[in-house]
Structure 1
């Protein structure tokens, strides 16, 4: 009996220790998302946001020194900084993760978490995005950003959720202008020209309204088509005109500013839904705060591109009166009003 009683305290102590250890593991497991990462030197009252770690990817088609890429990088930097390194986003420029259409599909599947695309590429997911291709719907850059920053602009970003994506912010891409191998001094000079356009109905209708012949073709084929005379002209913003080397074959540029199509920073809806509300807000705000950097970089890049184009000897014509251009496309816009009435009304409202 002595031996039996003597062993009971030892056995009891062992049971207590086992139970204590199990309770400790359960507690640690339950609170693992609230604990500092292993090896962290953060104090108990650390400001590190609580939650799991993430490492995301962002696909970008433009090169590393392009303004949209610099906006992406600022966004990634803000997310990492504000999460104290808990959430990281690796930016892959230069189409490393694929071309725009393929990347959008990967974002929908959640295989790639973020991307930056032209608003024009999103018309297949929400038809209202096609309205951005309509000419002269914005008076100037300020008018465009008043709309993009409005409640209606935000609703347009959120509308992509039904297509398994979520818009986070808009980026700038300037205005588009016509350039040609033939002289361009006024709207009359567009008549009869074979002009390359993006492959959508709005752009084809625009060329018809201006009396030109629309020639849809992929962007990568434009230089060769200008060189061989398959097309007479094309249209784009200053940076693209320069970096594509189109200015070497089409040395006449008219600053008609017929379109202002924004860029959109996207997140996969699958990735978004995995985030807690605090992380969602952190990412959304970082995206919005990166816009200032992207717009500043765009402004500098655009001015630098214009200076280089002028130095190359391109004949540049300023358009002092846009009314003839606006009058020429007005019937076209009115035809589309039945289709895009709501967004055109919202854009008109932002003018006031």
Structure 2
């Protein structure tokens, strides 16, 4: 009964006051699973304001946060079906649609977060965003998702501490393989399932950025956070191509530029938010650990031996390594 009620609620949200353009206003639905205080959500609010302003109110972005329309898997399926026009997801799950995205999840590929952000704003980033045009959706912009780190129910001070630990990962072959190489047992779960899975012992830990860890209150059930910075996998805003093609050329340009502008806005508030979190989380009882990153880098090298056999992936990896910023 609860499941039926949830489905009915989603259908009401989708079709009540949405998608009806009879008043000449094009209303586009944008869904994501983050909270309304998250820097990515705040950036999308700015994105929506700019689009409405620059189109003189002719295009309106309706944002559905907090997983109102489902987790990342569900909203991706709804977007593919055309029930949702736009979504925010992470680059990790996107690799099942275009292997170009898998490059962004490769462990220890980028020198640091700043090189990562510069690459995302370059031609390399645009090539990846456009990789799914013939698959039903187009990437509009990336969002800074920080470095991804391990957080667990017992301390991880070295790579050997991960041996045998069940770690929640995204639905990503790259993340699954990486976790296996680090000695863990990968458990793909949706983001909304993590808290309960940690609480009930289904998994021993998870991996994500510091802000998502704090926003989701995962520190309540996994109070040990290890700065291993194994991946810098960004978020990405994508749009159904049928919805995109219904826009005029001018409207497309406005939406694209507003999306890129929101990326710059989000970067600023991301770092401001992140800087304040460590002390706040320590006050909540979280213990932080720094590790010898070289141990982790060495463990994941077999992953590169495999992926570099693919000419496309090899080209992207080399482009990123040679990228000057």
Q: TM-score range with shorter-chain normalisation?
A: 0.7 to 0.9
**Deviating runs (4+, > 6 A) in structure 1?**
none
Deviation at 1:292, TM superposition (A): 1.5
- Specify the alignment match of 1:341 in structure 2: 314
1:128 and 1:194 mapped to 2: Cα distance?
Answer: 28
Which has more radius of gyration? 1
Question: Residue 138 of structure 2: SS of its match in structure 1?
Answer: strand
Deviation at 1:116, TM superposition (A): 1.5
Deviation at 1:194, TM superposition (A): 2.7
Deviation at 1:351, TM superposition (A): 5.1
Question: Residue 56 of structure 1: SS of its match in structure 2?
Answer: strand
Write the mapping of 1:164-313 to structure 2, written as runs, cut at 5 A: 164-313=136-285
TM-score (norm 1): 0.79
Instruction: Give deviations 1:142-161, integer Å, cap 9, x for gaps.
Output: 11112111112101111111
TM-score (norm 2): 0.85
Change (3 A) 1:346 1:57: same
Deviation at 1:244, TM superposition (A): 2.7
- Specify the alignment match of 2:130 in structure 1: 158
2:203 and 2:275 mapped to 1: Cα distance?
Answer: 27
Change (3 A) 1:108 1:260: same
Deviation at 1:73, TM superposition (A): 0.8
Question: Is the deviation greater in 58-67 or in 70-79?
Answer: 58-67
Equivalent of 1:110, from 82, 86, 99?
Answer: 82
1:100 and 1:200 mapped to 2: Cα distance?
Answer: 13
2:54 and 2:191 mapped to 1: Cα distance?
Answer: 38
Deviation at 1:53, TM superposition (A): 4.1
Q: Please say if residues 239 and 306 of structure 1, whose CA atoms lie closer than 8 Å, have aligned partners that are also in contact.
A: no
Question: Is the deviation greater in 77-86 or in 168-177?
Answer: 77-86
Equivalent of 1:326, from 287, 291, 297?
Answer: 297
1:217 and 1:266 mapped to 2: Cα distance?
Answer: 21
- Specify the alignment match of 2:70 in structure 1: 98
Deviation at 1:312, TM superposition (A): 1.5
2:242 and 2:117 mapped to 1: Cα distance?
Answer: 29
Question: Residue 169 of structure 1: SS of its match in structure 2?
Answer: strand
Deviation at 1:306, TM superposition (A): 2.6
2:164 and 2:324 mapped to 1: Cα distance?
Answer: 34
Question: Residue 338 of structure 1: SS of its match in structure 2?
Answer: coil
1:86 and 1:223 mapped to 2: Cα distance?
Answer: 40
Write the mapping of 1:1-150 to structure 2, written as runs, cut at 5 A: 53-150=25-122
Q: What are structure 2's unaligned runs of at least 5 residues?
A: 1-22
Q: What are structure 1's unaligned runs of at least 5 residues?
A: 1-37, 39-51
Question: Residue 63 of structure 2: SS of its match in structure 1?
Answer: strand
Q: Please say if residues 196 and 217 of structure 1, whose CA atoms lie closer than 8 Å, have aligned partners that are also in contact.
A: yes
Change (3 A) 1:117 1:225: closer
Query: Considering only aligned residues, what root-mean-square deviation do their CA atoms show, in Å?
Result: 2.1
Instruction: Give deviations 1:75-94, integer Å, cap 9, x for gaps.
Output: 11111111222222121212
Instruction: Give deviations 1:33-91, integer Å, cap 9, x for gaps.
Output: xxxxx9xxxxxxxxxxxxx6422221122122211111111111111111222222121
1:215 and 1:83 mapped to 2: Cα distance?
Answer: 44
